[in-house]
Chain A
Amino acid sequence: MTAKIAFADAEVGTELPAQTFQVTRDTLVRYAGASGDFNPIHWNDTFATEVGLDGVIAHGMLTMAQAVRVVTDWVGDPGAVVDYGVRFIRQVKVPNDDKGATVEVSAKVAAVVDESARTVRVDLLAKCDGQKVLGMARAVVALA
């Protein structure tokens, strides 16, 4: 485990570099195949509409995977993540066009978890169309 951020340099309030992720239908098809989640609400408009959705929506787990990149890219070693949790509070609707949906993720160091283990808690904010899509999105990472 080799984090490139030192514990001493990650004060509470430190902002991580924000990132923006584009999610198109193509992304959803690839993610369905790679994850094994073939629920048709993620690729079939007719089905999605029939079950009461406004159209095809992204896998919550895909949004969760993209959001944590803000943390793993910052810390350098994805293996430094010791805990990660989210609540799925709003769906990411993915229009059937070239642009799809845009998920904006920002994060900041919110607390020191364990000084001896050099772990901090990073709170994430993921938004789509200006609205929060993940709630209580938190990652605990072990720093150098």
Chain B
Amino acid sequence: MALDQSFVGRSYPPTRPYEVGREKIREFAEAIGDPHPAYTDPAAAEKLGHPDVIAPPTFVFSITYRAAGVVIEDPQLGLDFSRVVHGAQQFAYVRPVRAGDRLAVTSTIESINSLAGHDVLEIRGDVHDETGELVVTARTKLVARGADEE
């Protein structure tokens, strides 16, 4: 059944701040196999003009995706998560995420479309730091496969 269009534009309350730690960034950089020193060495990051180590560009997804959970699990929306695949992802950065950031995410349903029997849901996550400045906007496209496909 197609998702209710009236959910488009709905925003969810901001998440509790996520505190970005140096060691978490290091762990993530190691997991993706990226040895760039800006991720692990504060002096190297500073040389590039950053106040502390920065996170790889896709790091913030761990935070925005968890935040998008409020949309995915909204019983009123009625998305069948067992049929959901990640269709597309985009990030618009104001500045890189860095160690010491306390990031809160506000999730908004940007669009709901029906495509060949699938529901396509686009969730925008606006990530703000503790001063209220926007750091990055993440757009996550989820595709809920139609039930008649099997």
Contact = CB atoms under 8 A, between A and B. Distances in A.
B95 interface: yes
Contact of A61 (B24, B34, B61, B141): B61
Interface residues of A, number: 35
Provide the main secondary structure of the chain B interface.
mixed
Contact of A30 (B30, B36, B139, B141): B30
A118 B47 CA distance: 20
Interface in A79-102: 79, 81-88
Contacts of B91: 83-85
A2 interface: yes
Contacts, number: 105
A31 B31 contact: yes
Given A30-B30, A34-B27, A37-B62, A60 B90 contact: no
A78 B62 contact: no
Contacts of A30: 30-31
A86 B49 CA distance: 28
24 contacts: A1-B49, A2-B48, A34-B27, A34-B31, A35-B28, A35-B61, A61-B61, A66-B32, A69-B34, A72-B36, A73-B36, A78-B39, A78-B96, A79-B95, A79-B96, A81-B93, A81-B96, A82-B92, A83-B92, A84-B57, A84-B91, A84-B93, A87-B87, A88-B88
